[in-house]
Structure 1
Amino acid sequence: MITAHIRDYASTDRDAALACFRSNVPAFFSAEDEDWFISALDEPDGPNFVVVCDGKVVGFGGYEVSTSYNHAVLVFGQIHAQWHGKGLGTMLLIHRIAHLKTHAQPTKYLIIDTTLKVAPFYVRHGFEIVSHWREGFRDGADKVDLRLVLY
């Protein structure tokens, strides 16, 4: 049985978060996105969290609330590839949604853009697909936009 918890991201988690990201390239992220990920670590636009198992950071994810639109955006949700399939991604998603509902400015929608490979995970958790863009990412992968209605 896995003992896991989620806590706020700290700058001391940076190397472990980068290791999580790199473990998911190229299966789930493009190597071209590493600079963007680093900016999310170093200059976040919202709260970020880490998943910790047995004292080791094995996941990362956050969200940003738009001040101009009635939505929040999930950013860089990921679990280290060695820890996939253990329910940690679901745990991280549920934590981010609960945190958003209790700590952020109220917003009607939670949105994410992701790949065709990842979209079914979000659909299983109540998100709906709102658009599909062929070759919508810089690396040529299809882009899927999803949203969850929060109220």
Structure 2
Amino acid sequence: MQIVRPYQAGDRDACLALFDGNTPRFFDPSERADFAAWLDTSTHPYLVILRDGRIVACGGHAIEAGGSVASLCWGMVAQDAHGQGLGRALTQARLDAIRAVPGIASVRMNTSQHTQGFYAGYGFVTVNVTPDGFGPGIDQWDMVLQLPV
């Protein structure tokens, strides 16, 4: 059974374990402190997906100043659960939450070369690529999804 629910402070270690399991292919080790700080201080919506009581995915979104642009934040799936539809479930839940906010015209995100094709499947378009933008061997792909108004 799979459950999607809001992040709770007690989920911190499990979310950091997801990050660690996806390092160094999807995240550079230098990003861990930023992710931990984000978990500790962010007031933006963040979700976790549980399967059989274990957190197997997490990710959130933020509404940027001005209220017409949203961004996807810190999405990840347990390394041993890749390819099982969790990324799709997490992305869909976040996009549904964003679409429920009136006035959002676009969604921004940055990801790596490893997952840009996944997000392109949702209609995200690449606007910039920075080689090694996240760290050695992890390019930063800035992408935008235009939403119908």
Length-normalised TM-score, structure 1: 0.91
Alpha-carbon distance in structure 2 between the residues aligned to 1:142 and 1:90: 22
Deviations 1:36-92 (A, max 9, x none): 101121111410000110111111100111114631111110011011110000000
What residue is the counterpart of 2:42 in the other structure? 44
Match of 2:8 in 1: 10
Partner of 1:70: 68
Task: Give 1:140 shift.
Answer: 5.8
Code of the aligned partner of 1:108: A
**1:143 pairs with one of 137, 140, 144:** 140
Distance, in Å, in 2 between the alignment partners of 1:58 and 1:79 is 6
Moved more, 19-28 or 138-147: 138-147
Equivalent AA in structure 2 for residue 95 of structure 1: A
Matched residue of 2:138: which SS? coil
- What is the aligned residue count? 148
Residue 100 in 1 paired to residue 98 in 2? Answer: yes
- C-alpha RMSD of matched pairs (Å): 1.5
Letter in 2 for 1:20: L
Which consecutive unaligned segments of at least 5 residues does structure 1 have?
A: none
Deviations 1:81-121 (A, max 9, x none): 0111100000000000111122x353111011111111111
Contact 1:110 1:147 in 2 (8 A): yes
Q: Residue 124 of structure 1 corresponds to which residue in structure 2?
A: 121
| Bigger proportion of residues as strand | 2
Read off the aligned partner of 1:70 and give its amino acid letter.
Answer: S
* Contact kept? 2:127, 2:144, Cα under 8 Å: yes
Identity of aligned residues (%): 31
Secondary structure in 2 matching 1:131: strand
Q: Distance in 1 between matches of 2:16 and 2:33?
A: 10
Query: SS of the counterpart of 1:144?
Result: strand
TM-score normalised per structure 2: 0.92
Deviation at residue 131 of structure 1 after TM alignment? 1.4
Do 2:27 and 2:138's aligned partners in 1 also have CA atoms closer than 8 Å? no
- Output the CA distance in 1 between the equivalents of 2:30 and 2:102: 32
SS where residue 134 of structure 1 aligns?
strand
For 1:119 and 1:43, the matched residues in 2 are separated by: 27
Stretches of structure 2 that go unaligned for 5 or more consecutive residues are none
Structure 1: which 4+ aligned runs deviate by more than 4 Å?
A: none
**Paired letter, 2:116:** A
